[in-house]
């Protein structure tokens, strides 16, 4: 196996799920988002562990992701958070994936497909748009959409969902916006009840809302990034610390490799494509066998530092497709085949987290984690 690998610390995953459980009421259902290959951690392995740790639901974005879970032996309910094309709808039904719906055209595609398969009460969630402007009917339309679903003999409304746009922010105007979204969503559910229809499971909270807005849990919360050990936003972590709340989340993934070669570099020599960096003094370089095709994005350099033998060393020059070069200085303690860690929990030997890397590249931990490509084997450790 390649030495470049993503080591998945399953103990930390279990820890994070317990932390999430401790943040929610015992009766609140827990949905774990395992979309995008469980944020890069491996969907089936994470889903299996999540169900074992008490997840009630799992969430995917695509039909293929749902099928992968079913093929991997997952039997719990699976929500599909994004829309799929009409050609995929028979598979959604075959694999008992629960879609988000919100308009008559999309709902009738499910009704037709369920009827053809002879399924009587295929479960759907009604998505309500309360301010994200992504998917969902307006709160005012929720009643007529629920009635429409009710008139479809092969469908059953089993829940309602909305999604927050700024729940990761504690700025006054954003707190107000989230509050308004929450109130609109509750109103939408009330409109549905007024029509004599049970709206089913109500869910609006993502990771940020789970941490910042415990009063918004309703019947189910949808945890994504916190499952994998990261706060949705630096603000959230700081804010919680100020409030005296410490949710000890632990990073789950470590991105590891090893030094493939140690090179000496004379003063004035340039490194990598474009010759963007040259040695000011005689120095040494460690060549690492990972690059942007593994998810070590070009935009991380300059700025990225990688841990080798308990110290951070800077990546020099451009990151290549399959390799990158790290300056190890004039008197390195570093030898060939030493372990190098890009990010991860402390026990991996990492000195950076996905948050540190994200901050330096002006992105978010979500993107750092989901960028780790298929070429990087996932290795699971207790």
Q: Name residues contacting ligand PLP, limited to 155-214 (CB under 6 A).
A: 163, 206-207
Q: Which is nearer to ligand PLP, 81 or 279 (CB)?
A: 81
Q: Which is nearer to ligand PLP, 222 or 318 (CB)?
A: 222
- Binding-residue pattern over the window 5 to 44 for ligand PLP, x denoting contact by CB under 6 A: ----------------------------x-x---------
Closest separation between CB of residue 160 and ligand PLP, Å? 12
> Would you count residue 348 as binding ligand PLP (CB under 6 A)?
no
Shortest-Cβ-distance residue relative to ligand PLP: 224
Question: 342-364 in b/e burial notation, b at 16+ Cβ within 10 A?
Answer: bbbbeebbbbbbbbbbbbbbebb
Closest separation between CB of residue 213 and ligand PLP, Å? 13
CB 103 within 8 A of CB 137: yes
Of these residues, 116, 117, 273, 299, which one is catalytic? 273
Query: Applying CB under 6 A, what is the total number of residues that bind ligand PLP?
Result: 11
- Binding-residue pattern over the window 218 to 257 for ligand PLP, x denoting contact by CB under 6 A: ----xxxx------x-------------------------
273 in catalytic set: yes
Closest separation between CB of residue 282 and ligand PLP, Å? 46
- Binding-residue pattern over the window 81 to 100 for ligand PLP, x denoting contact by CB under 6 A: x-------------------
3-state SS string for 307-376: EECCEEEEEECCCCCCCEEEECCCCCCCCCCCEEEEECCHHHCCCCCHHHHHHHCCCCHHHHHHCCCCCC
35 in catalytic set: yes
CA 352 to CA 349: how far, in whole Å? Answer: 9
Beta bridge partners of 277: 271
Closest separation between CB of residue 127 and ligand PLP, Å? 8
CA distances from 85 to 67, 126, 151 (A): 15, 17, 23
Closest separation between CB of residue 161 and ligand PLP, Å? 7
Q: Are strands 339-343 and 5-9 parallel, antiparallel or unpaired?
A: unpaired
> Would you count residue 47 as binding ligand PLP (CB under 6 A)?
no
172-194 and 142-151 helices, crossing angle to 10°: 40
Q: Please give the structure tokens belonging to residue 224.
A: 């994504």
Region near ligand PLP per CB under 6 A, out of 216-224, 247-255, 283-291, 312-320: 216-224
Of these residues, 35, 123, 250, 305, which one is catalytic? 35
Closest separation between CB of residue 43 and ligand PLP, Å? 13
CB 69 within 8 A of CB 259: no
| Best CA proximity match to 77, nearest among 60, 101, 52, 91 | 60
Question: 274-307 in b/e burial notation, b at 16+ Cβ within 10 A?
Answer: eeebebeeebbbbebbbbbebbbbeebbeebbbb
CA 82 to CA 80: how far, in whole Å? Answer: 6
Site residues (CB under 6 A) for ligand PLP?
A: 33, 35, 81, 163, 206-207, 222-225, 232
Cite the active site residues. 35, 273
């Amino acid at each position: 196996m390649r030495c470049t690998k993503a080591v998945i610390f399953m103990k930390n995953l279990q820890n994070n799920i317990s932390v999430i459980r401790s943040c929610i009421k015992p009766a609140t259902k827990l949905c774990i988002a395992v979309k995008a290959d469980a944020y890069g951690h491996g969907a089936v392995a994470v889903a299996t562990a999540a169900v074992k740790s008490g997840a009630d639901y799992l969430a995917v974005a695509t039909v293929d992701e749902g099928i992968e879970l079913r093929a991997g032996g997952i039997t719990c309910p699976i929500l599909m958070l994004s829309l799929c094309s009409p050609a995929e709808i028979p598979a959604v039904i075959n694999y008992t994936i629960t879609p988000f719906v919100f308009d008559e055209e999309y709902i009738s595609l499910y009704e037709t497909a369920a009827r053809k398969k002879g399924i009587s009460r295929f479960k759907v969630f009604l998505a309500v748009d309360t301010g994200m402007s992504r998917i969902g009917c307006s709160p005012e339309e929720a009643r007529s959409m629920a009635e429409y679903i009710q008139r479809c003999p092969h469908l059953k409304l089993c829940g309602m969902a909305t999604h927050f746009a700024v729940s990761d922010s504690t700025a006054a105007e954003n707190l107000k916006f989230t509050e308004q979204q929450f109130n609109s969503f509750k109103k939408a559910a009330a409109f549905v009840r007024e029509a004599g229809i049970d709206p089913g499971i109500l869910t609006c909270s993502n990771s940020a809302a789970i941490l910042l807005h415990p009063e918004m849990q309703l019947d189910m919360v949808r945890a994504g990034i916190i499952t994998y050990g990261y706060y949705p936003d630096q603000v959230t972590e700081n804010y919680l610390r100020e409030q005296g709340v410490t949710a000890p989340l632990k990073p789950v993934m470590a991105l590891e490799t090893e030094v493939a070669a140690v090179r000496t570099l004379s003063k004035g020599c340039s490194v990598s494509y474009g010759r963007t960096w040259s040695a000011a003094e005689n120095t040494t370089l460690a060549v690492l066998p990972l690059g942007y095709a593994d998810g070590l994005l070009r935009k991380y350099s300059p700025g990225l530092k990688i841990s080798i033998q308990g110290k951070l060393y800077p990546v020099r020059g451009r990151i290549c497709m399959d390799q990158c070069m790290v300056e190890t200085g004039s008197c390195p303690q570093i030898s060939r085949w030493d372990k190098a860690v890009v990010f991860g929990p402390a026990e991996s030997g990492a000195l950076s987290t996905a948050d540190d890397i994200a901050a330096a590249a002006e992105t978010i931990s979500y993107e750092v984690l989901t960028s780790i490509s298929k070429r990087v084997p996932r290795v699971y450790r207790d």
